[in-house]
Amino acid sequence: MGNHDNNTGNFLTGVIIGSIVGAATALLMAPKSGRELRSDLSEQMDVLKDKSSGWKETVMEKSSDLTTTAVEKTNQLRQAAMDKGSNLADTVKEKAGQFRNTAKETTNTMAEAAKDGANQMQETAHRTVDLTAENAKGAADQAQTAANEASDEVAEKAEQLAEKVNKSMNP
């Protein structure tokens, strides 16, 4: 907008200078007496003063309009920037909350999985201990049975031997 104002100012300056030079040339080139020339120059100066006064008012109005427009646009841009910044802050807060919730859910899921794994390992250990205890009991029972059978066999053989010894001593 600054370039537009500068171009307008240059144009108006050119118009004013061109008018003055054109009027002065026209008056000086016309074949008139000194008194008539001074009178024409005076009239042209009055006309020029009136025109420049009108241009001054036009320039002031345009300048005021441009200033008002610039202030309005600046306020609009500032408000838009503030809105965007506020929206961005809200989005960041929302995404942070979502991330926090996701992290919490993941942590809870992992903790639950670890607990389930520990429970499964505990159950496996209990089953292994129970199975080992059953196998040990079975082996102990077999050993007891084998020992009882062996004891019975030894007792029977001892009785047979005792009978033989008694028969050989008591013919």
What's the pLDDT at 32? Answer: 65
What's the pLDDT at 6? Answer: 66
Nearest Cα neighbor of 51 from 23, 8, 19, 22 is 19
33 φ, ψ (degrees, to nearest 5):
-75, 170
pLDDT in tens, 55-113: 778 878 888 888 888 889 999 999 998 888 888 888 988 999 999 999 999 999 999 99
Lowest mean pLDDT of 31-45, 59-73, 78-92, 141-155, name the range: 31-45
Using CA atoms, how far apart are residues 48 and 37, in angstroms rounded to an integer?
Answer: 16
